[in-house]
Amino acid sequence: MSIFVLIPGAWLDGEVWQQVATDLERRGHRVLPVTLGTAPTDGLTEHTRQVGEVLAAADEPVVLVGHSYGSFPMLGAADRWPDRVARTVLIDAPLPEDGEALVDLLPCEQRATVTGELVPYPAVPWMSGGELPAGTSERLAERTPHWPARCMTEPIALTGAVKELPMTGVFCTLSGADLAVARGLHASGAPRFAWLANRANRYYELASGHLPMVTMPERLAEVLAGAARGEGEPLL
């Protein structure tokens, strides 16, 4: 049995994990979905603190899962409290370095939307990958219509401790990333990608867009259960 802490991406709440959580619990695991704060004053530091509170309440090291933006507070918390984390899992997520903010890693057209205190739910295809069931985007936008810009502009603080933890990367291939891309990044020799080949790291590919917890929750739960066991494909 593993404890999974599930951190959603921007404009999402803990409810988005409901079907995944149900399937993991049916497999005998314990699941703690996180809903991050959405007040204008909530930044990455606050979100990282919220994740840290969940880690502190768990009675054993957890499998810490971050989707999309959720990788920022996930990596920040794992770096700060590595003894509370058994493995990190990144789902269709960026890989920030110390001092980088999410806005630094966004394409120009997305970066331009990060203005003011609250950023509206995006009505653009990159959010879904183009294959969400009808009405899903509308329901998600009703639950979380805005997201605090501060968490997108506040830089992450990393010491490097998180890179010593076992990591599983889950690529959503309809979003444009896959294992071949990761291998190419590692082969480039850039220092920021060297840790992708750590011996304990493993990878999965899902034929999904950006929200696999919505489009294929049972398969994602299967992948997360496998990640907890250290399964998956190595980089090299």
Over residues 38-57, the pLDDT tens digits come to 999 999 999 999 999 999 99
**Residue 236 lies inside a defined structural domain of this protein:** no
Phi, psi of 15 (to 5 degrees): -65, -25
**Residue 235 lies inside a defined structural domain of this protein:** no
**Residue 218 lies inside a defined structural domain of this protein:** yes
Q: Which amino acid is at 24?
A: L
CATH number at residue 13: 3.40.50.1820
Q: How many CB atoms lie within 10 A of CB 232?
A: 18
Please tell me the total count of domains within the chain. Answer: 1
Residue range of the domain that includes 38: 3-228
The two tokens of residue 122 are 């995006």
**pLDDT per residue as tens digits for the range 130-174:** 577 778 888 888 899 999 999 999 999 999 999 999 999 999 998
**Residue 208 lies inside a defined structural domain of this protein:** yes
**Burial group, residue 206, by CB count within 10 angstroms (0-12, 13-18, 19+):** buried
Distances (CA, A) of 150 to 38, 71, 75, 102, 155: 10, 16, 17, 10, 10
**Residue 234 lies inside a defined structural domain of this protein:** no
* pTM score, whole prediction: 0.95
Please tell me the distance from the alpha carbon of residue 51 to that of residue 70, in angstroms, as a whole number.
Answer: 10
